[in-house]
Amino acid sequence: MIQEKSPSVHEKQVLHRKVTTNTVHDLRSIVGKEESTKMKVTKLTEEVNRLKKIAGLLREDIDLTDTPEFSRELDLKKVSNIEFDGIDPSDYPDFVDAHIISADYNGRPMTDDEIEELNQDSDFVYDALMDYLY
């Protein structure tokens, strides 16, 4: 018996982007057609229900609102797998040049913009660096 491998978080995010792009196109074509309003509402309702089913499958492992397209203020508790650069032992205990170069957010790699935002919080960077070093 062969078991199917469940999709990775990255594969689910890629699928989400494809579904979103195709859905926007499909919704625009439905709204643009010269049909009765009742027919458009019926088709839109069917499309929404289809998306709810897909979203239910995708949300088993990830929260899609945490993808860059839906970025909000970062919940620092969801940041993990932090990598640093600029650690100079002669700068102990301040480590003012140390900065985050990569991290994961809720199980997915963070974007450059999110890393930049994270590095703006010097208290978080310092605390994470202390955890990383000690």
pLDDT value at 63 more than 70? no
Please indicate, yes or no, whether the overall pTM of this predicted structure exceeds 0.85: no
> What residue ranges in the chain does DSSP mark as E strands?
79-85, 99-105, 108-109
Q: What is the dihedral of CA 100, 106, 23, 54, to 10 degrees?
A: 160
Pair of tokens at residue 28: 């625009």
Summarised one tens digit per residue, pLDDT across range 7-32 is 666 666 666 666 666 665 666 666 56
Summarised one tens digit per residue, pLDDT across range 102-114 is 999 999 999 998 8
Pair of tokens at residue 90: 């002669």
